[in-house]
Amino acid sequence: MKISVRVLSTVFLSWTLFGCATVNEDYNPSLKHHRPDGFQNNYTDATDKSGLEVLKWMWSRQRDSLPKPPQRQTPVVSPDIEFVRANKGESQVPAITWIGHATMLVQMGGLNILLDPVFSDRVSPVQFAGPKRYQPPGISLQDLPHIDLVLISHNHYDHLDTGSVRALNSQAGGPPLFVVPLGVRKWMIGEGIENVRQMDWWENLLVKLPNGELDVHFTPVQHWSSRGIADRRATLWGGFALFAADFHLYFSGDTGYSQDFLDTQRYFAERQTTEFGGGFDVALIAVGAYEPRWFMKEQHVNPQEAVQIHRDLNAKRSIGVHWGTFDLTDESLDQPPIDLAVARETAGLSRQDFDVMAIGQTIKLPKRAVAGTK
């Protein structure tokens, strides 16, 4: 029997949903999200799907020929490479550039930061099968400015790409600092990447470099991790809260909806110092990979839930990411912005409050006022 690339893609997308037989080398019995063989969510374990449920989803996906082809192409603009390369140091303007899927170039605190860098053609253990990129990266690896910091939310293939992190580790001028969840540092070392710090939920790391400074916090979200058939939940997952003198930003990574976002808002609200005051200027929230709901709800929010996260975080502005690049689930590639528009209108929000970007687009953002200045 001939096996199509489409079937193989579904298999590679689903193969990490089976059991785990690992030892948590970072196990701390005093922390409720730690367990001897890995980690768990704060509010539910329903992200775990049985083999029967996986097969049911794969069968219905093939039966109904899902996802359907998009009616509209993901918007793409030519990147402003000259700006992003020059935007650094004391004169830096806070800016975000969507490279595709969850990969975002963030410029704040004088630093160049990459979130979940994925530049390969496929998100898969191999490059001959698996979900294929519909649009090239908004900025190529070769055209990036020098990257100071790489933040990785979890180890799924559409967020942690081997070829991309190897290339960034070899960039001219020296490797960036890679900040990863607990358990992922060992994998990075195995790939020859040594400038790595790993973090647990609610830990923070103050990054001080000659050209800038950033306070990085790793926050809980509801998801899971795996890169194979025997390491489910062996490493941690999470979101990032970033604080610099000129800007505050939140990145959700992958997540289902949970109380974790209210917890995050309250955690920083209780620390209303100059450093954390005023909430998040921008939240980057996943809005794609959410159908069918019976299977995806606990692990991927839909646009309506993403709007609720925006509200829970009390963000001034949110941008939808994790869409328009790879066919990962059953909704069409162009559906997330359509559903986001409906959710936004229902919630009484404007496009300025919560919208999406074009691949390659850069948004320049206002600096926050520095304490003691007018």
pLDDT digits (tens, 9 = 90+) for 315-343: 999 999 999 999 999 999 999 999 999 99
Place of tokens 């860098």: 117
| Cα–Cα nearest to 123, from 24, 200, 14, 218 | 14
Q: Classify residue 353 as exposed, middle or buried by CB count within 10 Å of its CB (0-12, 13-18, 19+).
A: middle
In whole angstroms, what is the distance from residue 75 CA to residue 241 CA?
27
Question: What would the pLDDT profile of 158-204 be if each residue is shown by its tens digit?
Answer: 999 999 999 999 999 999 999 999 999 999 999 999 999 999 999 99
Domains of the chain: 81-364 (3.60.15.10)
Residue 273's pLDDT is 66
In whole angstroms, what is the distance from residue 349 CA to residue 20 CA?
42
Bridge partners of residue 197, in order along the sequence: 179
Residue 257's pLDDT is 98
In the chain, the amino acid numbered 207 is V
Indicate the DSSP class of residue 17: G
This prediction has a pTM of 0.93
Residue 21's pLDDT is 55
Tokens representing 271 are: 């620390």
Residue 372's pLDDT is 42
In whole angstroms, what is the distance from residue 16 CA to residue 301 CA?
19
Bridge partners of residue 204, in order along the sequence: 217
Residue 369's pLDDT is 77
Helical H segments across the chain, by residue range? 5-14, 51-63, 81-86, 162-169, 184-190, 260-269, 293-296, 303-313, 335-346
Residue 126's pLDDT is 81
Residue 15's pLDDT is 47
What residue ranges of the chain have pLDDT lower than 70?
1-21, 273-274, 370-374
